[in-house]
Structure 1
Amino acid sequence: MAYGAPTPAKFQHPDVTADGKPRARAPFVRLKTLWANTGTLCNIECAHCYIESSPRNDRLAYLSAQELRPYLDEAKRLGAHEIGFTGGEPFMNPDMPAMLCDALAAGFRALVLTNAMRPMMRPRVQAALAALRVEYGERLVLRVSLDHYAADRHDAERGPGAFEEAMRGLSWLAERGFAIAAAGRTLWGESEEETRAGYRRLFAERQIPIDADDPSALVLFPEMDERAEVPEISEACWDILGRRPDSVMCASSRMIVKRRGAPAPSVLACTLIPYSPAFELGRTLAESLISVPLNHPHCARFCVLGGAGCSG
């Protein structure tokens, strides 16, 4: 490169990194989890929300049960075993109970990512959830977002009083025998041991039956600040990092979204990159079963370097 020439921008070309190396790709292996984004509207606005959910953001519109049903049929044919629901806050969507019922009745495990606050605690939703738990038991799993075990840190992300409101929802689920999990964050720079110890104390004090030492029961997500510097992932990185291309989410999952104003839902490669056209793979699951270039900072920060995934 000539002296004084600008450094090429990262995460631009789908096949080549900024320094000219072949970009890593995630091959499609098989569909394990189909995610349904129920819409980006949320009852709260978090300080660090990767999808920018809020009471005003409806860039992803409410998905309807009628729109989801063909994808459930297609996912069944492809051998998927889990349907994940994310948002926004899924229980803001009026069709959420119907979508859960359809997924469970079709034989899938259903995983709902929720803040367990007021939308989930509405009497209509409570009654629907209770009925589904009785009929389908542990195939219905609710993962509650609990950013930190300390109320002040959780509330710094989600607003005053959010911690206690979430704990009331979590306690309601626990007391009624739901299969539950929790999702924390690594925003505060603690060691994993310190973080899990803090949650362990909290769950013991509140009588919440979640094993804080089980990574699938208490998921700790790495942060995804797009302003922070992160390396691109080239093909050579798999061996350097000791990772496999089929270990990242887009090798085994897809997400359905309904864009505001769109005539129909579309299929995305990933739950984490909902707005980029480059990660839109078609209208059907069959069209989406292709390899995906890891051409976004979240690919590097969350999936490859962070070793994280959204599924249960």
Structure 2
Amino acid sequence: MRAVVIDGEGGPEVLSVQEVPDPVPGEDEVLIDVVAAGLNRADVQQRRGFYPPPDGASPIPGLEVSGHVADPGTSAFHEGDAVVALLAGGGYAEKVAVPSGQVVRAPDGVGLLEAAALPETAATVWSNLVLQAGLEEGDDVLIHGASGGIGVMAIQVSLALGAVPHVTAGSAAKLGVARSLGARTLINYREQDFVQELRTATAGRGADVILDVVGAKYLARNVESLATGGRLVVIGLQGGTTAELDLGTLMGKRASIAGTTLRARPVGEKTAIMAAVRDSVWPLVASGGVRPFVDRVFPLEQVAEAHTYFDGGEHTGKILLSMR
């Protein structure tokens, strides 16, 4: 099969498409003929040498795919079923073997190519906003990086739950995307102080939940932005890993901070998350309340160009690789 190989550490030039052996599914794994794979920041970090795959995972990048079941193994799937899957690696390839619990049938209401934009974003958003932070109707939620794949999914899920999304992004164009999806408060972090803007938008109370991809750079200001009893969930470290925090502020607000990752979670946890996505997010997709937001689709052979485009930071929503 054709697959992307990472030759060294560095820029997109270290990526190439090569012929490699087909994966051999293990016990309780499903073999998928891949239609498309989603690009994620984790793939970029792996390419740069900062985020190696977990033990036992494929060295081929790619954390989410859509496709057809080629070999269902002992699972309840059937050959030819249209599915999507959450991976620990291996998605940038024509075939991938995945634990059956991390595979779910593709949702109604979208094409199979577009569906590749959903597994990682839906799993990340649902597991963090709902399962971790307990987001519910009426909550104010601050979403950083609002125009990326996670951000556009978080806005839509928040609105579907009856929460109020307030967002940050770095340009008018990106904030325009957030506006089109229904975000309430639009904050350009290059020009505005998100702490003050959020305080104004919430009549001084702050956010019940904050979903953060920045990390250390925003830690103190995020805590300052929390409402009493607020929950901060850190899912990315684009702004560094180390920061000082006034614990008195955190304690005074009776607030909490959680840090999570998805890729290295055990199969059992990913199985539970994907079941929740299937049961709770897929009906929203079928009804049109949540939709994949695809910026561009590149053929597999143009993986280096796709990563160059991703690195440029101007995309909104997801970038996909098509195998056909």
Structure number with greater CO (CA < 8 Å, separation at least 6) is: 1
TM-score for the superposition, normalised by structure 2: 0.33
TM-score for the superposition, normalised by structure 1: 0.34
Name the structure where strand makes up a greater proportion of residues. Answer: 2
